[in-house]
Structure 1
Amino acid sequence: MAKVKMKTNRSAAKRFKVTANGKIMHKKAGKSHLLRKKSRKTKRHLKKYKEIFAGFYDHVAKIIPYKF
């Protein structure tokens, strides 16, 4: 029986990045529109990537198997 390759979830692959240390990072929400009312500081902090919640690691690692 041939070994079956797992398919990567393409939408997840575009949303998550894996660091050299194996952390899964995502972009913060809220930077796409309605920026006029947000302060300069808020917009600056929304630029940064953030590590995902620990409870989601297993699920995200399963849907992007070849990023690790």
Structure 2
Amino acid sequence: MLKDELPKIVTGSVPGPECKKVLERRKNAIPSAIGNNYPCVIKRGAGAVFEDLDGNIFLDWVGGVG
């Protein structure tokens, strides 16, 4: 279960390759007036933990990201 896993970075850097693809598409499709403060694309979340498209797992310490 996702909520039982500890945060981990599997791609070596963030954003990883899959997130970069989506973020590039977003940059070309959405006006720049609509900001994006987080360089990740969330695949799933549970509790205070979320996973991006590359399999990196983060702790949502900000609140409300995932």
> Do both proteins adopt the same fold according to a TM-score greater than 0.5, normalized to the shorter chain?
no
Structure ID, larger Rg: 1
Counting helix residues as a fraction of each chain, which structure ranks higher? 1
Normalising by structure 2, we get a TM-score of 0.25
